[in-house]
Amino acid sequence: MLLISLLIANSEALAKSERPLLKGPYLGQTPPGMMPKVFAPGYVATRHRDYSGSFTPDMQEFYFSRKDVDTQKWWLVRFKRIDNLWHESVIGPRIGRPILSPDGNTMYLGSKYMQRTSSGWSQVKSLGPKIDRQDWGIMRLSASANGTYIFDDYKNNDVLRISEVKNGKRQDPVLLGANINSGKWTAHPFIAQDGSYIIWDSEKDDGYGDKDLYISFRQPDNSWGKAINLGAPINTAGIEAGAYVSPDGKYLFFNRNILKKGETEPSSDGDIYWVDAAVIERLRPKSSNSNLQAVD
C-alpha cells in the first residue's frame, strides 16, 4: 500500500510539473453562462475532493480545501496570480470550511480564523466566547462587509445562527426563523457582502433529491424572506452545498457531488462548480432592496 501511495504521489507530482501554467482572470477559465460547469478541471477540480472556494477582493488569489483521497487528509490550497500566471501551493491543514472575509484580510475557519500579515497568514485564533463554544459545532462561518456573521451548528439539530454588530458591539448569536431552519442537514451558509441575502444548503421536501441550495432575501423590515430553492440546473438529484459568490458579484460557486447513473447515493468525491450570478438576481423579489444591509 505504501508503494502504491508513493507511486501515485510521484505520478501526480510529475503531472503537475508538466501542466501548462494557467493565465488570465479566474484561473484562465472561460466564464460560464446560466449552466453550471466544473471550475478549473485538472487544477482545482481533480480526482481528490475539492471544496469551499473563495477569492480575494482583487481576484488575484483563490483558496479552497482539498481532501486527499489516498491519505484522507484535508488541506487548504491556494492558487496565486503572479505576473498573470497562477501558481499552486499548500497553505497547511484545513480547519473548518475556509472562507475569506469581504476585505480579504481574514480567513474564517468555522469558529476560528486567521489574519493576513505582512509575511502570510497568522496563527489560528479563536473568534471569542460568543462564537467559539464547545456546545456548538460550527463548520462554516460567513461575514458581510459590515461584520454580520452567519454560521451553522451541527451539534444542535443542524441550524443556522446570525450575529450582527450594533453600535460597534458584537451581538449574541440568535437562531434564524423556521423558514430557514427547516428540513435536514441545514448547513454551510453564505451571506452577501451587502447583507441582502443568504444562501445555504438543506434537504427539504421540495428539493431535487439530496441536499439543495436555498436562498433567502432580507426584507424591508430587516427580516428574512422565505426559503427559495435555486432550482434546476443549479440543484440536481446529487448534493449541492457550500455556496459562495465571487467578490466582483459575477459568479456563484458551489460544491457538487453528482449522482452517478445506476446509483442511489451521490458520489463521495466532489468538485467546485460555477455559474453566472444572474441565477440569484432572477429570484430576487422586485420589492427587495438589493442594497439593504443589516442595521448597525
Tens of pLDDT, residues 200-239? 999 998 888 889 999 999 999 999 999 999 999 999 999 9
Nearest to 256 by CA among 283, 278, 230: 230
Residue pair 290/87 in contact (Cβ under 8 Å)? The answer is no
pLDDT score for 7:
40
pLDDT score for 5:
43
| β partners of residue 74 | 67
Whether the full predicted model's pTM is greater than 0.85, yes or no, is yes
Please count the residues of the chain: 296
For residues 293 and 249, which has the higher predicted lDDT (pLDDT)? Answer: 249
pLDDT score for 293:
44
For residues 109 and 10, which has the higher predicted lDDT (pLDDT)? Answer: 109
The Cα angle at residue 226 between residues 223 and 232, in degrees rounded to 5: 140
Residue pair 215/199 in contact (Cβ under 8 Å)? The answer is yes
pLDDT at residue 292 above 70?
no
Residue pair 260/269 in contact (Cβ under 8 Å)? The answer is no
The C-alpha cell of 282 is what? 432572477
Nearest to 24 by CA among 37, 7, 9, 43: 43
Distance CA 97, CA 279 (A): 24
Q: Please identify which residue in the block is written with the cell numbers 428539493.
A: 207
List the domains of the chain with CATH numbers.
23-281 (2.120.10.30)
Residue pair 144/191 in contact (Cβ under 8 Å)? The answer is yes
Residue pair 258/210 in contact (Cβ under 8 Å)? The answer is no
